[in-house]
């Protein structure tokens, strides 16, 4: 080792700048090598330095643009901060206010939970079923069908316009027009101004939009399963599609199922745009008010960033809790 | 009698030899191809035959009908966007609106052309900005994130668990409150009013990394080990073995990133008109009031066309992986 090192330095003329730099770098690496020999933990890190080097660029950016902002808003949750003045430390006051003095927050929590508990699991299963069904189609047909199902996510604002049209409160709205035609109702229903209907409509629209990132990830996951497993399964006595699904498909894409679950949790707890576009802000009797709406209310309208950050922290913690629960369920798949 | 026996034996031997050779040729033809690019007709036919395990024709037809019906419902917004773009102004303001255009016209696109021709900054400039940001962001994210995902997926290094946990949980943090800290950091780095203020945050997004990591987990470890025995460095393994095997996931990642970057407006961090994005310029044109609603419809169609083409092209490149076929 030492000998080789000597040879290397001899080969480069000492006068050139580049050679000097190289020599210094090598001296440094020898030093690090010696330093790492003392402890097994350090040694493991040193031996895998190329792997750490591969992770470095992402991690630097990740810490800068994701970790730091999140940590900053964590700490803002304990302050009063109106964006213009410097934050004032208030301790747990924001959290106490949230749970004790803010009845609207409780409504928002209730609404969010209802939306999340219904749209989360159904949307998840729906994405999987559709992905699974179209998996075996020829590739061009499949990509077009995928596009069709992904359309609500790709169309953006236009997607919600359709629903505003369907549930328009006059007799021209599609829902009202058909219901009157069929003689079920005699007067138009003010769908999006009626506290009883807002939440169900939001849930329907959210379900319709549920084939998003999840769906694409699941298609990728299904494509990642090796075909030979199915042949081997058929030889080993798997007789129908359902057995194939449970014993081969699902266990082989467990990691993607986990990914989709995480995305689904985050997505269904962060419902906000749908309610404001459909039912307006604030919705009648806060019937469609979600936690994210509440957060935006304080963050972007009342400029109480401290309070908004506290809400965000609560939302974050509940997402983590749900995630832990769902991980346990997914581990049991295929056993 | 004996002669006949010999003849028969010879014949059998010859036949076996022929069979063996044919098999060899076949397997050579398959082996010599890189796994991602299998497109020969023979293999497609073979895979079609394979598909018929555990499938019934009746079930297929029922499924197809259900899919068509559900597809029609979810395609509604796309249909509306396309037909709106060809509607004359009076039809756009018609209430209740027609889902399908009655008197299609190209006026909206002509109007858009007139507006673009007189814009302050040449239109191609906006276009270039968006293309630059989209390509750099998409490729950069794919490269940087997957390079980080590989050690996270396949090794138990000190610190890996913490990193992965942080990345997973960061996915769940609502973006609304991080906007201000985010802006502060961009200012501190001096990136405000540059394209990097859009590109770098996208590269560091945790969704893509998590997706890549989760799909790399199922890459067979023995494949990596054998490559290492052959003297491949970690980077070579990542580039030559892992990346081709997770092609479906990288395609998904490209689609997601491309779409979000193509629509990125960057109106918060970019001030000078020279650097603004296509999507920003087009929506600005269209927000001049009711008279421009037709132009807006044309703009929506144009903005959505590129991601859709991109979507179909890349989705159709997604084919079955052959991850394990080299190991028997």
Asked if residue B83 lies in contact with residue B99, where contact means CB atoms within 8 angstroms, the answer is yes
pLDDT band at B25 (very low <50, low <70, confident <90, very high): low
Measure in Å the smallest separation between the Cα of B88 and chain A Cα atoms.
18
- Computed over every residue of chain B, the mean pLDDT equals 79
Same domain assignment for residues B188 and B291: yes
Same domain assignment for residues B168 and B65: no
Surface-to-core class of residue A209, CB atoms within 10 Å of its CB (0-12 exposed, 13-18 middle, 19+ buried): buried
Of residues B2 and A4, which shows the higher confidence score?
B2
pLDDT given at position B34: 45
pLDDT given at position B40: 43
Residues in chain A: 335
Enumerate residues 6+ apart whose C-beta is below 8 A from B320: A223, A226, A227, B47
A328 touches chain B (CB under 8 A): no
**In chain B, how many domains are there?**
2
Same domain assignment for residues B194 and B72: no
**pLDDT digit string, tens, across residues A92-125:** 888 888 888 888 888 889 999 999 889 999 999 9
Say how far apart CA B198 and CA B298 lie, in whole Å: 26
Q: Which residue of B has its CA nearest to A130?
A: B67
Q: Is residue B8 a part of any domain in this protein?
A: no
Q: Is residue B320 a part of any domain in this protein?
A: no
Asked if residue B53 lies in contact with residue A134, where contact means CB atoms within 8 angstroms, the answer is no
Asked if residue A229 lies in contact with residue A252, where contact means CB atoms within 8 angstroms, the answer is yes
Of residues B24 and A140, which shows the higher confidence score?
A140
Domain that holds residue B99: 53-105
A214 touches chain B (CB under 8 A): no
Q: Return the closest-CA partner of residue B76 out of B94, B57, B100.
A: B100
Q: Which residue of B has its CA nearest to A322?
A: B172
Same domain assignment for residues B301 and B229: yes
Minimum-distance CB partner of A220 among B217, B251, B324:
B251
Q: Which residue of A has its CA nearest to B65?
A: A133
Contact map slice: A 180-209 vs B, CB within 8 A: 208
Same domain assignment for residues B228 and B287: yes
**pLDDT digit string, tens, across residues B183-215:** 888 888 888 888 888 888 888 888 889 999 988
Instruction: Please state, for a pLDDT cut of 90, what percent of chain A lies above it.
Output: 4
A240 touches chain B (CB under 8 A): yes
- Token pair recorded at residue B181: 């800290």
Say yes or no for a CB contact (<8 Å) between A220 and B189.
no
**Does the pLDDT of residue B33 top 50, yes or no?**
no
Q: Which residue of B has its CA nearest to A213?
A: B256
- Token pair recorded at residue B78: 């796309």
Enumerate residues 6+ apart whose C-beta is below 8 A from A254: A330, A333, A334
pLDDT given at position A16: 60
pLDDT given at position B234: 85
**Does the pLDDT of residue B140 top 90, yes or no?**
yes
pLDDT band at B115 (very low <50, low <70, confident <90, very high): confident
pLDDT band at A9 (very low <50, low <70, confident <90, very high): very low
- Chain B residues closer than 8 Å to A50 by CB: 233-235
**Does the pLDDT of residue A323 top 50, yes or no?**
yes
Minimum-distance CB partner of A258 among B47, B189, B214:
B214
**Does the pLDDT of residue B324 top 90, yes or no?**
no
**pLDDT digit string, tens, across residues A248-260:** 888 888 888 888 9
Enumerate residues 6+ apart whose C-beta is below 8 A from B204: A58, A61, A62, A64, A65, A66
ipTM of the complex: 0.81
Same domain assignment for residues B216 and B75: no
pLDDT given at position B194: 87
Say yes or no for a CB contact (<8 Å) between A158 and B233.
no
Say yes or no for a CB contact (<8 Å) between A269 and B172.
yes
Minimum-distance CB partner of A66 among B81, B204, B263:
B204
- Chain A residues closer than 8 Å to B163 by CB: 55, 59
Q: Which residue of B has its CA nearest to A211?
A: B74
Angle at A327 between CA A321 and CA A332, to 5 degrees: 145
- Token pair recorded at residue B161: 């668990």
Same domain assignment for residues B166 and B302: yes
Same domain assignment for residues B68 and B164: no
Say yes or no for a CB contact (<8 Å) between B63 and A59.
no
Of residues A217 and B4, which shows the higher confidence score?
A217
Same domain assignment for residues B91 and B240: no
Say yes or no for a CB contact (<8 Å) between B255 and A262.
no
Q: Which residue of B has its CA nearest to A43?
A: B158
Say yes or no for a CB contact (<8 Å) between A61 and B170.
no
Q: Return the closest-CA partner of residue A216 out of A252, A264, A250, A249.
A: A264
Asked if residue A290 lies in contact with residue B249, where contact means CB atoms within 8 angstroms, the answer is no
- Chain A residues closer than 8 Å to B196 by CB: none
Asked if residue A65 lies in contact with residue B201, where contact means CB atoms within 8 angstroms, the answer is yes
HEC sequence for B278-321: HHHHHHHHHCCCHHHHHHHHHHHHHHHHHHHHHHHHHHCCCCCC
Provide mean pLDDT across the span B230-244. Answer: 86
Of residues B300 and B9, which shows the higher confidence score?
B300
A136 touches chain B (CB under 8 A): yes
Angle at A317 between CA A311 and CA A318, to 5 degrees: 90
Q: Which residue of A has its CA nearest to B259?
A: A154
Predicted TM-score of the model (pTM)? 0.79
Which of A48, A60, A223 is the best substitution to test chain B (most B C-beta atoms within 10 A)? A223
**Does the pLDDT of residue B277 top 80, yes or no?**
yes
**Does the pLDDT of residue A7 top 70, yes or no?**
no
- Chain B residues closer than 8 Å to A41 by CB: 158
- Neighbouring CB atoms inside 10 A of A151's CB total 25
- Token pair recorded at residue A104: 């609207």
Provide mean pLDDT across the span A227-234. Answer: 80
Q: Is residue B222 a part of any domain in this protein?
A: yes
Same domain assignment for residues B135 and B69: no
Say how far apart CA A176 and CA A154 lie, in whole Å: 28
Contact map slice: A 257-316 vs B, CB within 8 A: 258-259, 262-263, 265-266, 269-270, 292, 295-296, 299-300, 305, 308-309, 311-312, 315-316
Q: Is residue B15 a part of any domain in this protein?
A: no
Q: Is residue B10 a part of any domain in this protein?
A: no
Q: Is residue B322 a part of any domain in this protein?
A: no
pLDDT band at B79 (very low <50, low <70, confident <90, very high): confident
pLDDT given at position B136: 93
Minimum-distance CB partner of B215 among A177, A221, A311:
A221
- Neighbouring CB atoms inside 10 A of A34's CB total 9
The CATH number covering residue B182 comes to 1.10.3720.10
Place of tokens 């964006």: A83
HEC sequence for chain A: CHHHHHHHHHHCCCCCHHHHHHHHHHHHHHHHHHHHCCCHHHHHHHHCHHHHHHHHHHHHHHHHHHHHHHHHHHHHCCEECCCCCCCEECCCHHHHHHHHHCHHHHHHHHHHHHHHHHHHHHHHHHHHHHHHHHCCCCHHHHHHHHHHHHHHHHCCHHHHHHHHHHCCCCCCCHHHHHHHHCCCCCCCCCHHHCHHHHHHHHHHHHHHCCCCHHHHHHHHHHHCCCHHHHHHHHHCCCCCHHHHHHHHHHHHCHHHHHHHHHHHHHHHHCCCHHHHHHHCCCCHHHCCCCHHHHHHHHHHHCCCHHHHHHHHHHHHHHHHHHHHHHHHHHHCCCC
Say how far apart CA B123 and CA B115 lie, in whole Å: 10
- Computed over every residue of chain A, the mean pLDDT equals 82
**Does the pLDDT of residue B315 top 70, yes or no?**
yes
- Token pair recorded at residue B1: 């009698």
A64 touches chain B (CB under 8 A): yes
- Domains of chain A as residue ranges with CATH: 2-82 (no CATH), 93-331 (1.10.3720.10)
- Token pair recorded at residue B8: 């028969």
Same domain assignment for residues B124 and B256: yes
**Does the pLDDT of residue B48 top 50, yes or no?**
no
Measure in Å the smallest separation between the Cα of B95 and chain A Cα atoms.
8
pLDDT given at position B142: 93
Measure in Å the smallest separation between the Cα of A5 and chain B Cα atoms.
21
pLDDT band at A1 (very low <50, low <70, confident <90, very high): very low
Establish whether the linkage from the previous residue to A33 is cis, with ω within 30° of 0.
Answer: no
Measure in Å the smallest separation between the Cα of B295 and chain A Cα atoms.
15
Q: Is residue B32 a part of any domain in this protein?
A: no
pLDDT given at position B85: 83
A252 touches chain B (CB under 8 A): yes
Say yes or no for a CB contact (<8 Å) between A83 and B180.
yes
Say yes or no for a CB contact (<8 Å) between B205 and A66.
yes
Same domain assignment for residues B167 and B197: yes
Minimum-distance CB partner of A312 among B166, B174, B304:
B174
pLDDT band at B109 (very low <50, low <70, confident <90, very high): confident
Q: Is residue B69 a part of any domain in this protein?
A: yes
Angle at A235 between CA A229 and CA A239, to 5 degrees: 90
**pLDDT digit string, tens, across residues A15-36:** 566 678 888 888 888 887 777 7
- Chain B residues closer than 8 Å to A220 by CB: 211, 215, 248-249, 251-252, 318
pLDDT band at B139 (very low <50, low <70, confident <90, very high): very high
Enumerate residues 6+ apart whose C-beta is below 8 A from A116: A265, A268, A269, A271, A322
Last residue within a domain, chosen from B43, B75, B105: B105
pLDDT given at position A122: 92
pLDDT given at position B183: 85
pLDDT given at position A3: 47
Say yes or no for a CB contact (<8 Å) between A143 and B204.
no
pLDDT given at position B44: 43
Minimum-distance CB partner of A316 among B81, B172, B234:
B172
Q: Which residue of A has its CA nearest to B177?
A: A309
Distances in whole angstroms, Cα of residue A271 to Cα of each of A29, A115, A290:
51, 8, 7
Say yes or no for a CB contact (<8 Å) between B176 and A299.
yes
Q: Which residue of B has its CA nearest to A225?
A: B321
Surface-to-core class of residue B233, CB atoms within 10 Å of its CB (0-12 exposed, 13-18 middle, 19+ buried): exposed
Say how far apart CA B108 and CA B104 lie, in whole Å: 10
């Amino acid at each position: 080792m030492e000998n080789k090192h000597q040879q290397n330095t001899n080969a480069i003329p000492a006068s050139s700048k580049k050679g000097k730099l190289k020599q210094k770098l090598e001296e440094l690496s020898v030093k690090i090598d010696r330093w790492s020999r003392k402890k097994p933990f350090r040694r493991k890190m040193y031996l895998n330095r190329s792997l750490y080097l591969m992770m470095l660029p992402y991690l630097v950016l990740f810490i800068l643009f994701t970790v730091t902002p999140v940590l900053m808003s964590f700490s803002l949750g304990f302050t009063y901060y109106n964006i213009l003045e410097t934050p004032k430390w208030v301790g747990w006051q924001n959290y106490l206010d949230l749970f004790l003095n803010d009845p609207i927050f409780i409504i928002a929590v209730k609404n969010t939970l209802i939306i999340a508990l219904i749209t989360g699991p159904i949307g998840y299963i729906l994405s999987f079923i559709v992905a699974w069904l179209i998996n075996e189609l020829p590739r061009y047909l499949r990509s077009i069908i995928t596009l069709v199902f992904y359309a609500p996510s790709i169309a953006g604002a236009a997607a919600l316009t359709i629903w505003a049209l369907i549930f328009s409160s006059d007799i021209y709205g599609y829902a009202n027009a058909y219901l009157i035609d069929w003689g079920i109702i005699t007067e138009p229903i003010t769908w999006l101004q009626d506290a009883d209907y807002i939440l169900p409509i939001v849930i329907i629209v959210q379900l319709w939009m549920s084939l998003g990132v999840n769906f694409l990830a699941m298609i990728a996951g299904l494509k990642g399963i090796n075909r030979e497993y199915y042949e081997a399964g058929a030889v080993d006595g798997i007789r129908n599609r359902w057995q194939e699904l449970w014993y081969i498909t699902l266990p082989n894409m467990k990691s993607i199922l986990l990914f989709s679950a995480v995305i689904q949790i985050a997505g269904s707890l962060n419902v906000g745009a749908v309610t404001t576009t459909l039912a307006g802000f604030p919705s009648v009797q806060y019937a469609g008010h979600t936690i994210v709406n509440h957060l935006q209310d304080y963050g972007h309208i009342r400029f109480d960033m401290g309070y908004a950050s506290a809400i965000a922290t609560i939302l974050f913690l509940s997402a983590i809790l749900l995630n832990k629960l769902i991980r346990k369920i997914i581990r049991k798949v295929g056993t | 009698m004996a002669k006949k026996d010999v003849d028969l034996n010879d014949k059998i031997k010859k036949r076996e030899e022929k069979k063996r050779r044919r098999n060899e040729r076949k397997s050579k033809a398959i082996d010599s191809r890189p796994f991602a690019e299998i497109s020969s007709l023979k293999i497609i036919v073979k895979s079609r035959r394979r598909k018929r395990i555990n499938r019934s024709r009746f079930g297929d037809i029922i499924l197809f009908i259900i899919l068509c019906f559900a597809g029609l419902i979810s395609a509604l917004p796309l249909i509306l966007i396309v037909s709106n773009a060809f509607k004359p102004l009076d039809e756009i303001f018609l209430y209740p609106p027609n889902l399908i255009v009655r008197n299609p016209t190209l006026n909206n696109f002509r109007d858009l052309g007139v507006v673009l021709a007189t814009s302050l900054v040449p239109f191609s400039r906006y276009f270039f900005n968006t293309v630059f940001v989209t390509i750099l962001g998409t490729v950069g994210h794919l490269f940087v994130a997957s390079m980080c995902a590989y050690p996270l997926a396949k090794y138990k290094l000190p610190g890996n668990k913490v990193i992965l946990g942080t990345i997973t949980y960061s996915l769940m943090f609502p973006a609304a409150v991080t906007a201000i800290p985010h802006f502060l950091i961009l200012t501190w780095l001096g990136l405000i009013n540059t394209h990097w203020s859009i590109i770098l945050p996208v590269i560091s997004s945790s969704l893509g990394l998590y997706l890549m990591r989760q799909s790399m987990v199922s890459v067979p470890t023995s494949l990596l080990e054998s490559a290492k025995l052959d003297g491949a460095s970690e980077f070579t393994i990542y580039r030559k073995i892992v990346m081709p095997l997770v092609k479906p996931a990288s395609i998904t990642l490209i689609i997601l990133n491309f779409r979000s970057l193509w629509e990125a407006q960057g109106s918060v961090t970019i001030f000078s008109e020279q650097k603004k994005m296509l999507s920003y310029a087009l929506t600005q044109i269209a927000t001049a009031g009711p008279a421009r609603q037709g132009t807006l419809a044309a703009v929506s169609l144009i903005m959505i066309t590129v991601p859709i083409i991109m979507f179909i092209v890349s989705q159709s490149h997604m084919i079955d992986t052959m991850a394990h076929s080299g190991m028997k």
